[in-house]
């Protein structure tokens, strides 16, 4: 049953007015070239996903052909976003297909003027060594009143809304385990 008022239905039944009200609606609204072109997603594999940008969890439909990403759009069946995406979510296809996307680790040494490429293992080792050194160099066993605190003020973490709940949870656990106090998240999760 239509949710339009009965008055609208009566207007459509009038010979000239009713025909005018149907202009631009129904099958007559589509041009022959539009009908022949077909759906832009015809023949594509669709996979339901979650937007990677923030912890809101908006639903996405990811369309692929032969394993290649073709399109991403909002999932109308998502109870959270109901088919809508913010500008970042709408552009998430660029995370994969942006030609300027960095795919290698780049490092500029302190005082250096040039970037150099590092392999992942070297970069991870450098990060681990610096975290351990900062923890050891700034470790505080007791505070000024002699209370045991077992903490470090040598580093902090500021999370962002681009991390999902699981990532923020793991980061919080990691930084707490290594003794950090300054653990914050801009998204206030």
Same domain, 49 and 89: yes
Does residue 20 form part of some domain? yes
Structural tokens at position 82: 């109901």
Same domain, 87 and 112: no
Least confidently predicted of 100-104, 132-136, 162-166: 162-166
Total residues belonging to the chain = 189
Structural domain span for residue 17? 6-36
Look at the chain and report how many structural domains it folds into.
4
Does residue 1 form part of some domain? no
Per-residue pLDDT, averaged over 157-167, amounts to: 76
pLDDT digits (tens, 9 = 90+) for 9-65: 777 677 776 666 666 666 667 778 877 887 888 889 999 999 887 778 899 999 999
Same domain, 132 and 144: no
Same domain, 147 and 157: yes
pTM for the full model? 0.55
Does residue 81 form part of some domain? yes
């Amino acid at each position: 049953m239509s949710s339009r008022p009965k008055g609208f239905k009566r207007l459509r039944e009038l010979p000239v007015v009713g025909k005018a009200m149907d202009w631009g609606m129904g099958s007559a609204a589509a041009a022959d070239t539009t009908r022949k072109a077909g759906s832009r997603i015809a023949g594509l594999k669709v996979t339901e996903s979650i937007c990677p940008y923030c912890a809101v969890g908006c639903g996405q439909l990811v369309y692929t052909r032969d394993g290649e990403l073709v399109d991403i759009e909002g999932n109308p069946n998502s109870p959270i976003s109901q088919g809508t995406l913010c500008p970042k979510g709408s552009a998430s296809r660029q995370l994969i297909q942006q030609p300027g996307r960095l795919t290698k680790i780049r490092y500029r040494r302190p005082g250096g003027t040039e970037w150099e490429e590092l392999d992942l293992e070297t970069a991870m080792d450098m990060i681990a060594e610096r975290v351990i050194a900062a923890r050891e160099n700034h470790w505080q066993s007791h505070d000024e009143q002699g209370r045991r605190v077992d903490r470090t003020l040598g580093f902090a973490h500021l999370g962002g809304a681009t991390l999902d709940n699981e990532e923020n949870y793991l980061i919080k656990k990691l930084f707490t385990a290594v003794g950090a106090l300054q653990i914050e998240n801009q998204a206030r999760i």
